[in-house]
Amino acid sequence: MKKILLTIFTLAMILCLGVGLAACNNATTQGQLENPLGFDHKSEVFVYDALDTKSGNLGTYTVRIVGHDAGETISDFGNAELPNVEKGILVTGKLEMGDDVSSTGCYFKLVGSSTTYMVPVASYTVHTEDGKETFRLQATYSTKTYDYERTVDGKKDSGSIKISGTCFDNNEFHQMLRTVSTYSSGLSLAYNMPLVTPTEALSVSITATMSYSQKVATSFTDALLKDDGTQLYPEGMDCYVVNINRSTEVAGTSQKLYYAVDNVATDISHPNVRFMQHILVKIVEPYKVDGKATFAATDADGKQVEKPIQMEYILRQAYIPDPTM
């Protein structure tokens, strides 16, 4: 199970090298990707059904985004405490597959004239199997290095990966794509990703492209209703499809991400209806052939056919928590 849980949810820092955007936008990457929380709320929660299509194992993946004011202390941050933080947001993820659990988190300070752009400060990953901790990663970010402490089956080591340019964390990248200022099918990003796993610590080359839209139906989209009680999305929600591809075969970077084209009202009964921007509706990982990831192949006639996916994460619930709870 360890290989499954440490695939897309291994927390890693993303280093953007270049941006190609529709309409030839010359804005920097940091100026394109920003805090996904709306001005009218400070927290969002997403719950996904997780399916290992190879074994048939089912699980749950929960993502929480919480805004923090300057001066606050985050007490439960892996095995560390973050005191007196700058204004920012904490993004955490918890993947539970039977007795195996992977927990990740990253804190980002908000910068810029309107304090909306996200810069990573620190992150962690903890993986347990049958209640026993098998992997732990604590990392901090500076302008030039990604510094980490790693524990694998009780054995500790540490190191640094050199970085330059604009830095993003893996969980942050998922959420920040929701608010890119030129959100369209023409979006294209290229970057390197320093990645730390139980056996590796290196930088890999990644590309992300948004090429088309597709209708996606989940239990969450099925439950969204119009005022008259009929389904809002009877044929599924329109979603942009973002392809994440790698040139180096390292676990954790091949994905398809499905983002809602429209902003979603989480509770129409709320006196002031609040919206979440371009929510992430589905995540899939590819079927692997001879250790290499692929989403598609060709049949005997040369026609492209889809291969089965290996892991699938389908949105079950998305909501803005009641601030009084």
pLDDT digits (tens, 9 = 90+) for 90-131: 999 999 999 999 999 989 888 876 667 788 889 899 999 999
**Under 8 Å between Cβ of 101 and 128:** yes
Return phi, psi of residue 4, to 5°: -70, -50
pLDDT of residue 44: 92
* Residue 132 neighbours by CB under 8 Å, 6+ apart: none
pLDDT of residue 292: 45
The string of pLDDT tens digits covering residues 256-280 is 899 998 888 766 555 567 788 889 9
Instruction: Fill in the amino acid letter for 245.
Output: N
pLDDT of residue 69: 92
DSSP code of 243? E
Instruction: Fill in the amino acid letter for 161.
Output: I
pLDDT band at 286 (very low <50, low <70, confident <90, very high): low
**pLDDT beyond 80 at 190:** no
Alpha helices (H) along the chain = 2-5, 170-176, 219-222
**Under 8 Å between Cβ of 277 and 263:** yes
* Residue 130 neighbours by CB under 8 Å, 6+ apart: 99, 100
Of 158-162, 274-278, 309-313, least confident by mean pLDDT is 309-313
pLDDT of residue 129: 93
The domains of the chain are located at 2-319
Count of residues making up the chain: 325
pLDDT averaged over every residue in the chain: 76
The three-state secondary structure class of 22 is helix
Instruction: Fill in the amino acid letter for 96.
Output: E
**pLDDT beyond 50 at 296:** no
